[in-house]
Amino acid sequence: QVHLVESGGGSVQAGGSLRLSCTASEDIYDNFYCLGWFRQAPGKEREGVAVIYRGSGNTQYRDPVKGRFTISQDNSKSTLYLQMSSLKPEDTAMYYCAADLGGYCSKGPSEYQYRGQGTQVTVFS
């Protein structure tokens, strides 16, 4: 069974930074085609944040985080990262990583094959 484990969440003042990590539990990381970060704020639907094509390294970002967040990966550590800078209170949410063995990386979070349990990010003003 594949598990994705997120870490790195916490509380930070607006304007601050956090780096989230997501590690796969099995030696399946190299088989992933799409990897992504999603978030869900209280009372809102889960939304995409950023995705990366594991093989090519190509990335896509949602408009609200462009220029502030960076998705990256370390294949040697089977780890996905999300570097978040210039954080805003509206970035407060539970952040999830997800992975898929194929398909379109821009698809919705519920369409991803594997999803983690999430890590909470709280940004206070």
Tens digits of residue pLDDT in 8-39: 999 999 999 999 999 987 678 888 999 999 99
pLDDT of 103 higher than 70: yes
So what's the pLDDT on residue 3?
A: 85
Q: What does pLDDT average to over the chain?
A: 94
Q: How far is CA 114 from CA 32, 80, 86, 90, 124, in A?
A: 10, 13, 29, 26, 30
So what's the pLDDT on residue 1?
A: 75
So what's the pLDDT on residue 26?
A: 63
What is the C-alpha separation between 15 and 89, in angstroms, rounded? 9
Question: Can you read off the two tokens belonging to residue 125?
Answer: 């003003």
- Tell me the pLDDT tens digit for each residue of 47-98: 999 999 999 999 999 999 999 999 999 988 999 999 999 999 999 999 999 9
So what's the pLDDT on residue 29?
A: 86
88: exposed, middle or buried (Cβ count in 10 Å: 0-12, 13-18, 19+) = middle
49 conformational bin, left if phi > 0, alpha if psi -120 to 50, beta if neither? alpha
